[in-house]
Amino acid sequence: MEFTTTRSLSDAPPFPQPRVCPYQPPPEYERLGERGPLSRVTLFDGRVVWLVTGYPEARQLLADRRISADRQRPDYPAVAPRFQAEVAKRLVLIGMDPPAHDEHRQLLNPYFSRKRVEELRPVVQGIVDQYVDRMLETGPPADLVRDFALPVPSRVISEILGLPAEDLDFFQEASRCLLQATTREESQKAGGELVGYLDRLATLRRTEPGPGLIGLLAREEVGAGRLSHADLVQMALVILVAGHETSASTIALGTITLLDHPELLARMRADPAGVPAAVEEILRCVAVTDLAGVRVATEDIPVAGEVIRAGEGVLLSATMANRDPRVHEDPTAFDTGRTGRRHLSFGYGIHQCLGQSLARMELEVAFATLFTRIPTLRLAVPADRLPTRPPGSGTVQGVNEMPVTW
Ligand code: HEM
């Protein structure tokens, strides 16, 4: 009996594993990867699901129409208790299948195209400069998360959506509570506050014009009956939450990674043309969402010699797929000389990140400006002493504070 328990646990170890170092995958992940491109893990509620760690297998599955992202399905797996909250199940776009997903996506794509994002570069540069100015005026020291990494993408996304600047602290805090909630109730409370806020704003913008995407969609799409008010509120919620916390964490963890590799940082500083490649390598290595997607199979799917049965949960590991030794030479090394974009940090397939061009541009501007204007920037505490996020909230990685000096 004892043998069976031990065997079944080791066959399907718990997932996710806690991080020991905030910018490195949990040590246990290496062993998960050694078990082949597909293996089984156990979630907090005891459910056993597939974990896909191989790069080609993860791409194949993310592009397969026989897996569903519909969070309302009773068989959709919850990676942490917060995903059981109603607010998490109701998310449009990311939590929907075609055709509804595709309709919403087509509506939003033009606003996040590479061309549109490039037009925003001067705005983003202005925001980045403003926060660096403030750090230089008031520091050293500074908290890079509070003073730079979090407010920069928050300001950018509020400009895009048209959120009043004075609401920045409110939605930063509510998003933090939503993403770091360890219970369904906490998640519901924070999500409910954000939904209420966006609902009021979308209602106001229908009659009182204001800048930004919420006002535009409220007038043009909701006004014309092509989009429901409730869906607009949900869209704004997804863009708001997905659009700043992920970029903020990548700025913070990417800064630590660059500081950890002074020769590569010096090369990036000397050659601004190398910044996009450095950003791509940071994205590959830090993969802040950890998972490139969470899905459920709607039919039996044969893959890599296994069969994923209809109704089984499937987690696609960006962290592990990004380190697949079949795809990357010396996969655990941080190497800004790599070419290509072979990582799943923005997901793949129909749900591939809507904001990826925006995120890339924000990261380029943030790193280039930060290390040019504060060339002696360094951590004020050893990197491995920075507290990791509390376990139990899921897989989104980051640090809540990051003391720096210069
Ligand atoms: C470094 C920053 C970012 C990372 C690592 C990231 C990561 C991801 C990943 C892995 C997915 C796929 C999820 C899945 O398939 O289930 C995704 C989807 C999404 N992301 Fe991002 N993201 C980032 C920045 C942004 C930004 C700036 C926005 C703002 C617009 C954004 C908005 C979205 C949306 C709306 C989706 C859902 C797309 C769909 O379902 O069609 N993300 N992101």
- State residue 78's pLDDT score: 93
Number of domains in the chain: 1
What is the tens place of the pLDDT at every residue in 92-101? 999 999 999 9
> At 159, which amino acid appears?
E
- Encode the chain (406 residues) as per-residue pLDDT tens digits: 232 333 344 589 999 988 888 888 888 888 888 889 999 999 999 999 999 999 999 999 999 999 999 999 999 999 988 888 888 888 899 999 999 999 999 999 999 999 999 999 999 999 999 999 999 999 899 999 999 999 999 999 999 999 988 898 888 888 888 878 888 888 888 889 999 999 999 999 888 888 899 999 999 999 888 999 999 999 999 999 888 889 999 999 999 999 999 999 999 999 999 999 999 999 999 999 999 999 999 999 999 999 999 999 999 999 999 999 999 999 999 999 998 889 999 999 999 999 999 999 999 999 999 999 999 999 999 988 888 777 777 778 889 899 999 9
Strands 313-317, 48-52: pairing kind: parallel
Q: What is the DSSP string of 387-405?
A: PPPPTTS-S----S--EEE
Domain span at 396: 2-405
Nearest CA to ligand 1 atom 17: 353
Q: What is the pLDDT of residue 66?
A: 98
pLDDT tens for 194-238 read 999 999 999 998 888 888 999 999 999 998 889 999 999 999 999
The mean of the pLDDT values for the chain is 91
Global pTM reads: 0.94
Burial profile 227-254: b = 16 or more Cβ within 10 angstroms, e = fewer: beeebbbbbbbbbbbbbbbbbbbbbbbb
* Cβ of residue 93 lying under 6 Å from some atom of ligand 1: yes
- Dihedral, 182, 188, 191, 197 alpha carbons, nearest 10: -140
Please work out whether the CB of residue 288 comes within 6 Å of at least one atom of ligand 1: yes
Q: How far apart are CA 100 and CA 283, in angstroms?
A: 29
CATH of the domain at 311: 1.10.630.10
Active site residues: 242, 245, 247, 353, 362
* Ligand 1 atom closest to Cα of residue 250: 1
**Which pLDDT does position 46 carry in this prediction?**
94
pLDDT at residue 8 in the model: 47
Compute φ and ψ for 187, nearest 5 degrees. -65, -45
Tell me the pLDDT tens digit for each residue of 243-283.
888 999 999 999 999 999 999 999 999 999 999 999 999 99
The response to whether residue 365 sits with its C-beta less than 6 Å from ligand 1 reads no
**In sequence order, what are the beta bridge partners of 321?**
none
Pocket test for ligand 1, best of 250, 353, 363 (most atoms within 8 A of CB): 353
68 lines ligand 1 (CB under 6 A): no
pLDDT reported for residue 10: 55
For residue 288, give the ligand 1 atom closest to its CA: 5
How far is residue 38's CA from residue 35's CA, in Å, rounded to a whole number?
7
As a whole number of angstroms, the distance between CA 146 and CA 8 comes to 43
Edge to edge, the sheet with strand 313-317 lists 38-42, 48-52, 313-317, 291-297, 67-68
| Cα maximum dimension of the chain | 68
3-state secondary structure of 287: coil
Given a contact cutoff of 8 angstroms between Cβ atoms, the answer to whether 43 and 77 are in contact is yes
pLDDT at 179: 79
How far apart are alpha carbons 204 and 371 in whole angstroms?
41
